[in-house]
Amino acid sequence: MNEKPKTIAVNKKTTMNSFKLEADSDMLTKRGIKKSLIHKFVTYCRKKSPWIMHMSSGGCNGCSIEIAACIGPKFDVERFGMVSKELPRHADIILIEGPMTTKLKNRVLDIYNKTPEPKVVVAIGTCPMSNGIYFDCYNVNGPLDRFIPVDVYVPGCPPKPEAIIHGIVQALEKLDEKA
């Protein structure tokens, strides 16, 4: 009863975020691999190697500097397996900082809609929570959670890199719950 282990041929262009479980399920079940095993594998890979996307929705860029410090060698958020990506279709976690301005509202909604499920939104700083120092500006539409659901809030103006890393770790837990 020595059976050969079953293998799956995956195209080099296929990434874990673009892996379509539904489309390939018939092919996989014909080869004897169950859906639950593939689903567990994809969930494990997303948890151990999430891809983050940083977006500014306006503001002073103080939080952007602190996010850049998190990615840098001193705090090194990549030790959690995270990689910064530019495209929303590759992202698992979206970091949004700054108040929701009129000019960037549609772009934030577009990026949120293009990000595949499961996704986690992290609001960095005081501005996405309560508009911060921009609370009475004519071009600020309101807090971020009025337009898209926010999973994790990181308060501060600007928040310390340690607080941002703590928020990202909480986002990892939320991503695990959603998957």
Q: What is the pLDDT of residues 7-30, one digit of tens each?
A: 444 444 444 444 444 445 455 555
> Are 60 and 73 contained in the same domain?
yes
Helices (H) and strands (E) in the chain, counts: 6, 7
> Are 103 and 89 contained in the same domain?
yes
- Cα(34)–Cα(103) distance, rounded to whole angstroms? 47
> Are 118 and 129 contained in the same domain?
yes
> Are 100 and 168 contained in the same domain?
yes
Residue 51: how many CB atoms within 10 A of its CB?
18
- The strand pair at 100-101 and 140-142 is best described as antiparallel
Average pLDDT score over residue span 58-73: 85
> Are 70 and 81 contained in the same domain?
yes
Query: Phi first, then psi: what are they for 57, rounded to 5°?
Result: -105, 25
Its domain, for residue 40, covers: 13-48
Q: Examine residue 155 and state whether it is found in any structural domain, yes or no.
A: yes
Closest to 94 (Cα-Cα) out of 74, 73, 117, 78: 117
Q: Examine residue 92 and state whether it is found in any structural domain, yes or no.
A: yes
> Are 68 and 97 contained in the same domain?
yes
Given a contact cutoff of 8 angstroms between Cβ atoms, the answer to whether 120 and 174 are in contact is yes
> Are 122 and 151 contained in the same domain?
yes
- Read off the pLDDT band of 121 (50, 70, 90): very high
CATH code for position 102: 3.40.50.12280
> Are 139 and 154 contained in the same domain?
yes
> Are 120 and 54 contained in the same domain?
yes
- Report angle CA 24, 28, 34 to the nearest 5 degrees: 115
pLDDT tens column, 134-174: 888 888 888 888 999 999 999 988 899 899 989 988 888 88
Q: Examine residue 6 and state whether it is found in any structural domain, yes or no.
A: no
- Cα(178)–Cα(157) distance, rounded to whole angstroms? 29
Q: Examine residue 143 and state whether it is found in any structural domain, yes or no.
A: yes
Q: What is residue 154's predicted lDDT score, i.e. its pLDDT?
A: 92
* Cα dihedral 99, 102, 107, 108 sign: positive
Average pLDDT score over residue span 93-121: 89
Domains identified in the chain, total number: 2
Q: Examine residue 8 and state whether it is found in any structural domain, yes or no.
A: no
- Cα(60)–Cα(63) distance, rounded to whole angstroms? 8
Query: Which pTM value belongs to this model?
Result: 0.74
Given a contact cutoff of 8 angstroms between Cβ atoms, the answer to whether 65 and 156 are in contact is no
Q: 96: buried, middle or exposed (CB in 10 Å: 19+, 13-18, 0-12)? A: buried
Q: Examine residue 36 and state whether it is found in any structural domain, yes or no.
A: yes
> Are 87 and 115 contained in the same domain?
yes
